[in-house]
Structure 1
Amino acid sequence: MHAVPIGLPLQVLARSPGETLPDWLARAQLLPEACPIEGAFLTSLPPLVGEGSCGVAPAVRLEAPAGGKPGLPSRPEISCGLAGLLSTFFRQDLREIARRMLDEDVTEVLTGPGYVCRHRNGNPEAKISEHAKGEALDVTGFVLSSGVRVTVADDWGGESREAAFLKAVHSAACGHFTTVLGPEADADHADHFHLDRGCHGRDCTYRICQ
């Protein structure tokens, strides 16, 4: 792993509908090679390419925010911009919530892969998913410094302190991401939090928090 210093503003290069792959890749080559997130542990990747309009540039493999904790053992492949948001959220909000509510640190965040070339909820008739742009990550749970695992599938709901912790994390995420979906959104999100920074509304400032 290597820590990447701060530099140019975070960017993401969306692949326009109908844009040919060679044209998109040509534009991607003009982007900075490094992802400028202060202190984050990540690896810069070449553009991720899929069928249709799937694709991510610049892409990274995120391993941990600044300081190295919490780690992301799945090392999701996502956009540089999403990596910046996640790093801030994990380093600040998640750490503070865990210490305040559980008197522990979060050592690992359990996630899905990040980039997946697919439509929303796996429905081929739906719009393309933010996962297909590297702009979404599914979080399934957390490993605490005691070794205890708190997962959305097992601990969401009820009166336990773990349930309260998950509720607080979900609520805090709504202040960072434009879309936050959990078990109360629908059955497709019963076992994870979906976090993305997709554009909603004319000025991309509308947020969905469910």
Structure 2
Amino acid sequence: MSLRGVLFTVSVSGLLILMGCSTGGPNFVAKHEPWRENEESACLAAGVVRPSPFLEARSALGGPSYCGASRPFQMSAADQGRVSLKPPALLRCPMIPQVERWVSRVVKPSAEYYFGSPIVEMKVAASYGCRPRNNQSGGKLSEHGYANALDISSFTLADGRVVTVKGGWWGDERERLFLRAVHEGACGEFTTVLGPNSDKFHHDHFHVDLARHGRDGRQRYCK
């Protein structure tokens, strides 16, 4: 084989590995980003996230490609067990305190203000999953692939009322106001927040994550 042929083969092989296609895995584009490991390590070292009856330390998640997290946690409830996450969410360390803050500072008080009833459950539509953004083949690796994202599709109150993002976003006035308050409040806790007004892929849930945006990584994307 000529040198040109060898270089072509190596290039194609590298591209396939990058996109997770060499073994028939998910078709996405990914690259190594050191800040992810740095933030996870800093969070773990700070000791703000510790195992509890509602937070279980799990084994490392790895591959294919750059999917995974070194020391993820399975979160079954927030607010000291008062707000269940069903099914439990598999998340990396930095996401845990932000979910807790969102629930305690935004979701709970908003539910009590608009409905006069505490929230008891949030329906998890997605957490960790090694896949491209919006499940679109050939796209960038989703933040879900790093266990750095959470999708919520509904909120259940103590009085039995279930507020879905799909039905409530354009539902009765209280549901509309509640969901918009929850969405807006999430923008102060996460760097990415997507809801029904963002695109067709988020018509039935809220997506929140801690991706970096902009040159300095400090910009937020809330839509």
- Normalised TM-score (structure 1): 0.81
Aligned residue number for residue 19 of structure 2 = none
Segments of 4+ moved more than 3 angstroms: 31-36
Aligned residue number for residue 96 of structure 1 = 109
Once residues 155 and 186 of structure 1 are traced to their aligned partners in structure 2, the CA distance between those partners, rounded to angstroms, is 17
Would you say the 8 A contact 1:179–1:196 is kept in 2?
yes
1:57-100: per-residue Cα shift (whole Å, max 9, x none)?
A: 22000011232121112101111110111011112211111111
Would you say the 8 A contact 2:67–2:146 is kept in 1?
yes
Would you say the 8 A contact 1:135–1:196 is kept in 2?
yes
Task: Map 1:27-66 to 2 at 5 A.
Answer: 36-37=48-49, 41-66=54-79
Instruction: Tell me if 1:17 matches 2:32.
Output: yes
Please tell me the residue identity of whatever aligns with 1:53.
Y
Once residues 17 and 38 of structure 1 are traced to their aligned partners in structure 2, the CA distance between those partners, rounded to angstroms, is 27
Once residues 47 and 197 of structure 2 are traced to their aligned partners in structure 1, the CA distance between those partners, rounded to angstroms, is 34
What is the deviation of 1:198? 0.4
Q: 1:129 aligns with which of 142, 161, 164?
A: 142
Secondary structure of 2:176 counterpart? helix
Please tell me the residue identity of whatever aligns with 1:37.
V
Secondary structure of 1:75 counterpart? strand
Once residues 51 and 73 of structure 2 are traced to their aligned partners in structure 1, the CA distance between those partners, rounded to angstroms, is 14
Please tell me the residue identity of whatever aligns with 2:200.
A
Instruction: Tell me if 1:171 matches 2:171.
Output: no
Q: 1:113 aligns with which of 123, 126, 129?
A: 126
Would you say the 8 A contact 2:79–2:103 is kept in 1?
no
Once residues 93 and 38 of structure 1 are traced to their aligned partners in structure 2, the CA distance between those partners, rounded to angstroms, is 22
Number of aligned residues: 188
**Could you tell me the percent identity over the aligned residues?**
34
What is the deviation of 1:108? 0.2
What is the deviation of 1:112? 2.1
Instruction: Tell me if 1:80 matches 2:80.
Output: no
Task: Map 1:170-209 to 2 at 5 A.
Answer: 170-209=183-222
RMSD: 2.7
Unaligned runs of at least 5 residues, structure 2: 1-29, 35-39
- Normalised TM-score (structure 2): 0.77
Once residues 112 and 53 of structure 1 are traced to their aligned partners in structure 2, the CA distance between those partners, rounded to angstroms, is 22
Secondary structure of 2:96 counterpart? helix
